[in-house]
Structure 1
Amino acid sequence: MSRNKAIFLLSAGHACVDVYQGSVAALVPFFAAERAYGYAAVSGIVLAASLLSSVAQPLFGALTDRWAMPWLLPSATLLGGLGIGLGGLVDSYALTLVFVAVSGIGVAAYHPEAARVARIAGDGRHTAMGWFSLGGNVGFAAAPVLVAAVMALGGLRMSPLLVVPALAGSVLCLPVLRALAKTARAGGSSADVAGVDDWRSFARLSMAVVFRSIVFVGLSTFVSLYARQRVSGGTATGSAALFLLYLGGAAGTLLGSRLAGRRDRVTVVRRSYLATIGAVAGVVFVPGPAFFPFVLLAAVGLYIPFSLQITLSQDYLPTRVGTASGVTLGLTVSIGGLASPVIGAIADHTSLRTALTPLIALPFLCWITTRSLSEPCSVQTGTPPAEKVSISRE
C-alpha cells in the first residue's frame, strides 16, 4: 500500500473518531433545550467526556510504547460512537454522563496508537502528521452539521444514528492494519530509534498544550450558546458558530504544516499563539455578525500549532512516541474539559462573557511557555525495531 493511501485512510478514520469529540459540544444546545440543563450541567457533560480520558489517554500511550495494539483503532472507534449514541437516548443525567464518559474512553484509546501508526506510515514527517490531524479537524467540523441533521429528525431520541461514523471509521482503518501486519510477517526492515528523551522540553510543550486546550474546549463548549447572545439568533446560529470554529481548526492545521516547511516548527508555534490573543479577544467582546470572523480566526490560530506539537512531542521523546502522543493528544481535549465546569459555574453566577474573558490570557501563556523551546535534533532513523513494519512509497 502506498504511503499516501495509508495516510488518507488513517486521516478519514481519524475524522470518524473525532466526530464524537465534536459531538459532545454540538449536543450542548439540544441538552439545554430539551432537558433544561444550565451552564454547569452541560459543562458536566463535557467534563464526563474528558475526565477519564485525561488519565486513560497517556496510559494507553505508555502501553503502546511497550506493545503494538493496532486492534485499538477499530474497537476504540466503535466504543466512541456507541457512547455518544446511547448518551442522547437515555433520560437520566447520571446515565448520560456514564455513556459520554464511555465515549471519551474510546477516543482516548484510539489516539496514541493511531498517532504511532500515522508516524510509521508518514515516516515521521510533520506534513504526514498534518494530514492525519486534518482528519480529526474535519471530524470536529462535521460534528455540528451531523448532530443538527440527526436532531432535526426527532431530537435526542434519534441519537443512535450518530453511531454510523463509527461503523465507517472502524472499516477504513482495516486495510492499513492489514498492510502493516503483512509487512511485519514479511520481515520488513527498520532501523533503530536514536536520540535521548528531552523531558524538560516535553514538559514545557505540554504546558502550552494545556493552556491551548482550555481555550479551545472552553470556546467549543460555549460558543454555540454565546453566539446566540452576540448575534441574537437561534440554534442554527449556534451551530454555525461551532461549525466555523471547527472549520478554522482544519484550515489552521493545513496552514501549520505549510508554514513549518518554511520555518522551524517552534517559531511557527510561538507566533501563532501571539496572533491568537487578539482573535480570542474579538470572540469575547465583538458583537453582531463580526463575531463570526473572529471565531474563525481564533480557531486558525489555535490549530496552526496542533500537528506541529504532536511531532515536536514525539521528537522530544524519541523512545516513547506513544507516551508523547497520548499526553499531547490527550491533554488537547481532557484538561480543557476539566476546566469547562469552572467556566460554566462562573457563567451561571455572572455572565458568559465574564466567564470567557480569562481565555484571552491563555494564548499569551502558551507563548511564554514555548519561548525557551528549541527545534529538536533529527532523532529518528527509522521505525522502532519492535514494530518491523513499512509501507511502500508512491
Structure 2
Amino acid sequence: MSPRAVDAVTALSCFALMLLDVPGLAEADNSLGRVSATVVLAAGAATLLLRRRAPWVPYLVALGFLGWLHELTLIQFALYSLGRFRGRVAGAVATAGYILTAYLLFSTPGWPAHRGDSLSEFLSLVVPIGVLASGVGIAAYRQDLIRELETQRAETVALQAVQKERTSVARDVHDLVGRELTMLAVRAEVLAVRARGEAHGADFDELAETARRAHHMLNEIIVRRADERTATPGLEGLPALAAEGERMGSPVELTITDRARRIPALRQTAVYRVVQECLTNAAKHAPGETVTVHIDVEGARLRIEVGNPLAAEDPAREEPVSSGTGTFSMRERVESMGGVLTAGPRDGAYHVLALLPSGL
C-alpha cells in the first residue's frame, strides 16, 4: 500500500472513532449539532493527510479539539505521527506540550466541572494516552531507521560485489589481452630480425613497437589488485570445480560441447565464474543434491545452464552463512560481455541460465 493510501486509511480510522463521540458532543456543546459536529471532526481528521510532511498541523488542531470539544482521539494519532515521522525529540516535546496544555485547560475555572471529572482523574487518562501514543510512534521510527540501514547495507554489499567482479574482469582482460600483445611483439621482433635490410623490415619494427606501447597502455589503464594476482581459469578449470563440488557433498554432472570448447578465453572466464558461484550456492543451500551443468553454443549465443533440486526443509539444519552477493557477481560478469543472466526457483529446482555472445 502506498504512503498516501496509508495516510488516507489513518484519517478515515480516526474519523470513524471520533464519530462515536458525536452524540455526546451535540448534547454537551450547544454550539454544535450532530451535522456540524460531524463536519468539524471530519475536517480535523483530514489534517492527518499531512502527517508525513507537516505532522505539527494535526497536532495543533488536536490541541484545539482538546480545549474546545474535549476530544482525545485526534491527539493520539497526532502524537503517534510526530514520533513516527520526526523521531524521539519531537515526540517528547509534543507529549510534554500536550500534557501541559491539558493541565492548563483543566486548571481553568469551570472546565473540570463542565467535563464532570476531577483533574487527577482526567490526568490519569491524559498522561498514559500521550506517552503511549508517542512512544509507539518513536518505536516505529526506530524500526524504520533500522530497516533503512539494513537496506543501505545490503546495497553497499551488492555494490562492493559488483565492483570486485569488475576488477576481476579487468584483471582477466589484462592477463589475456596482455599475453596476446606480448606474443605479437615478440613475433614482430623475430620477423624484423629476419627481414632486416629488406623492404618490410622497418614495418615489422614499427609493429613490434606498437604492440609494446599497447601493452604498456593496458598496464596503465587496468591496475590489478595485489590480492588478486591469480587469473581466472577457463573451461580447463571446470573439472576441478566439479571434483571440489563432489567433495563438498554435491555431485556434479558436467557437460561441455565441442563447439563450446572453442569459445575465446575471456568468455571462458565468464563460464568459470558462473559455474563456480552456482556450485558454491548449491553446496550451501542444497547439500547432497546433484547439480547439472550444461555449456553449449547455440547459433551465435553461448548458453550456460546450471540447475539443482531444491533442498527439502530440515528444521535441524542450520542456515548457511551467505552474503547473498553471488548473483550480483555472476550478473555483472555476464552483462559486462553483453549477455543476460536469470536465476531463481522453477519446477522444484533452482535454475541459473546465462546467455551471452559466443565470440565465434
- Which TM-score band applies after superposition, normalised by the shorter structure? under 0.3
Higher relative contact order (CA 8 A, sep 6+): 1
Larger Cα-atom Rg? 2
The TM-score normalised by the length of structure 1 is: 0.22
The TM-score normalised by the length of structure 2 is: 0.23
